[in-house]
Structure 1
Amino acid sequence: MTVDVIVCGVGPAGRALAHRSLVRGVTVAVVDPAPDRAWQATYAAWADELPEWIAPSAVAATVAQPTAWGTLAHRIDRPYVVFDTERLRTSLELTGAEIVVGRAASCTPDTVSLADGRVLTARRVIDARGVGRSPARAEQTAYGVVLDAQRCAGLEPLFMDWRADNGAPAAAPRSFLYAVPLGDGTMLLEETCLVGRPALDGTVLRDRLHHRLRSHGIELTGDESVERVRFPVEGGRPGPHTFGTAGGFAHPATGYSVAASLAAADTVAAGESAWPASARAVHRLRAAGLRALLALPPADLPLFFDAFFTMPTAAQRAYLSERADLGGTVTAMRTLFTALPGPLRRRVALATLGMPIRSRIRMGSAIMDLCDRSGRAR
């Protein structure tokens, strides 16, 4: 077999890339152990991140202004969409692609070796198989239940809620409540560990969710549909032959990757680079944000997100969504840094200085300049 492109892995990123390649008239083969397997996770994105070609039917629900809680409530002036997972999957049609059922054991720029001994060749091979778990990699974990929306009366859609009503000890690693409508008269309520190394176990998150829902007057019966989440937020390798989380498209400080992959699918399908120098620099700065989150004491996380969601929406968007906006990302990080309480600034500065040396010089200089001017972070 020799085709224009082989895509290994048909999760949301790989399937989107294969689909957009087919739309361009590129000959495509996809390799996956179970290419027709339904996606189990709930995917969501900011509405302004999505490319125009996304089928409207793939969006199950839209929250015009989701709420985020640190110690205070923050209304985010940015529509947030929740996908209908199955409609998203089927809208990314693979008609015309050669479907190869098998596990890719290794990928080179033009060859895929399958576990059963088959070898496939193409003008270009793209690895979209995701990132494997490792104790060295920070992860996001979550435990959620799906409830009839009437049982959640009075509970508004929540992007994150860090309030301490989940029964966790004050000094324990923090988790937050994520609550979104699914568009079919139900809501997903999910206790989430944003990032940890190691991340909180699902059993801990389950117990916290049950406690938190009881505090809202919601009793569970045990018959509810359950969603479990666990995935690395780091470990991707940006480059011309990787895509999705395997290619570093996951935001290392939030775990979001689907919208970024959808937005970049046309660029990569056209054979162009999704990683200009500015995008690589932003990726390094976001990795610094991950280090800062991992370094913060549990009690500081709500204060950190109070400062983040107090920033202008444009600054929030630059940090959360703009993969190649280096100037906007630096401005957002500086704005956040100056808004943090003094002791929190010092911890963030020290964590950020773990950056690779060239980035360390640039960002470290900016941070220490802010420290000097504030007179409170040293």
Structure 2
Amino acid sequence: MTADLVIAGLGPAGRALAFRAAAGGLEVTAVDPRPERAWRATYAAWADELPGWLPATAVAARVETPSAWTVREHRIARPYRVLDTAALQRALPLDRVRVVTGRAVDVDRTGVTLADGETVRGRCVVDARGLPPAPGRAQQTAFGLVVDARSAAAALDGQEAWFMDWRRDNGTGRGDAPSFLYAVPVGPGRVLLEETCLVGRPALVLPELEGRLRARLAARGVELSGAEPAEHVRFAVEGARRRRGGPVGFGARGGLMHPATGYAVATALSAADPVVAAVRAGRDPDRVLWTPTARTVAALRARGLAVLLGLGGENAAEFFAAFFELPVDRQRAYLSGRDDPAGVAAAMWSLFGSVPPALRRTILRSMI
């Protein structure tokens, strides 16, 4: 049987596409080695990034005014949402999808070949298996602990959440590779406190981040019981390549991850319906996903990633101080969406013009 749509990979991107495609009347087959494995990662997004079809139950916590600390405090006038990972998975049921349990060893334009030799064929084939590990790729890493809200209060300093807190009470000095505290509620009475290396090539290793987090929490008087659940994060933020004549890539595999932040889930959720509409109309989904404006935005953000990789520990806080002083619409243009290259360029130019000359020289060297 040839399905309308075959999807390799049932992480958040692949599962969202499978669910929306089946809801849109397509015959969908999805392939994954463990299709019902529970997701463990914490996902979040700006509220305006989430599609209207996502149920409210998929949101674990609402932060109306997140904060950042660079060289000073910033309030970000843009609501932020932390997703309930288990509820998100339940909100994307596969009851109308033919699910094949198996490991894909080859994915091409016409089908998915499994390790046992079976080939699942489709009119349109999408590769949503995420980015495979590879040496040399820039990565984001983080180590976090889920702490009860009462204990976490000392780390939050009265804020709803820290989107980024670059203060150096994590035991580091100016010459050390930078990391920041990400502190967000993840449900009633629970807060994720996570030490994060935004991007690195190589990125900071998890034991180093764990040590920094524990030093930071001790400095702020956060008492730990030793029973707090831990979160380990390591994923590539670059490396997706669109192959001419190959399958449609989706999610991180398709280049939908923001290279400077690592955010991808909200983009995949929002991009699912345009892909479904293209398949229904018999059009190439790549033409929907990769318009000329989307390609330009991706190229600009790739230059932004180069700048972040070139920042030393002494420059990161100053760089982000300039970013969070930008008007919110320019912050949004850089962080979200794929259809506003003028807005992305304006944000980058405004930031460049507002930083001190020494930091401008660092930025220019990074982009050469």
TM score, norm. by length of structure 1: 0.92
Q: 1:169 offset after TM fit, Å?
A: 3.1
Q: How does 1:257-336 map to 2 (within 5 A)?
A: 257-271=264-278, 272=285, 273-336=288-351
Whether the 8 Å contact between 1:210 and 1:220 is mirrored in structure 2 is: no
Question: How far apart in 2 are the matches of 1:320 and 1:4?
Answer: 33
Question: How far apart in 1 are the matches of 2:225 and 2:174?
Answer: 28
Question: How far apart in 1 are the matches of 2:339 and 2:364?
Answer: 23
1:5-28 Cα deviation digits (max 9, x unpaired): 111111110001111101110000
Whether the 8 Å contact between 2:151 and 2:224 is mirrored in structure 1 is: no
Q: How does 1:1-378 map to 2 (within 5 A)?
A: 1-154=1-154, 155=156, 156=159, 157-238=161-242, 241-271=248-278, 272=285, 273-353=288-368
TM score, norm. by length of structure 2: 0.94
- For the residue of structure 1 that corresponds to 2:213, the secondary structure is helix
Question: How far apart in 2 are the matches of 1:340 and 1:19?
Answer: 45
Question: How far apart in 2 are the matches of 1:23 and 1:97?
Answer: 9
**Letter of the structure 2 residue corresponding to residue 198 of structure 1:** P
Question: How far apart in 2 are the matches of 1:158 and 1:116?
Answer: 47
Number of aligned residue pairs: give it. Answer: 353
- For the residue of structure 1 that corresponds to 2:194, the secondary structure is strand
Unaligned runs of 5+ in 1: 354-378
1:61-117 Cα deviation digits (max 9, x unpaired): 110010011111110000000000000011012121101000110101111111111
Question: How far apart in 2 are the matches of 1:192 and 1:150?
Answer: 22
* Cα RMSD after superposing both structures: 1.1
**Letter of the structure 2 residue corresponding to residue 293 of structure 1:** L
Among all aligned residue pairs of Structure 1 and Structure 2, give the percentage whose two residues are the same amino acid: 52
- For the residue of structure 2 that corresponds to 1:282, the secondary structure is helix
- For the residue of structure 2 that corresponds to 1:182, the secondary structure is strand
Q: 1:336 offset after TM fit, Å?
A: 0.8
Whether the 8 Å contact between 2:66 and 2:79 is mirrored in structure 1 is: yes
Whether the 8 Å contact between 1:141 and 1:202 is mirrored in structure 2 is: yes
1:320-352 Cα deviation digits (max 9, x unpaired): 002121111111111111011111111112222
**Letter of the structure 2 residue corresponding to residue 265 of structure 1:** A
1:108-159 Cα deviation digits (max 9, x unpaired): 1111111111111100110000001222100000000001101122413100
**Letter of the structure 2 residue corresponding to residue 244 of structure 1:** G
1:48-73 Cα deviation digits (max 9, x unpaired): 00110011100011100100111111
Question: How far apart in 1 are the matches of 2:49 and 2:241?
Answer: 22
- For the residue of structure 2 that corresponds to 1:159, the secondary structure is strand
Whether the 8 Å contact between 1:135 and 1:197 is mirrored in structure 2 is: no
Unaligned runs of 5+ in 2: 279-284
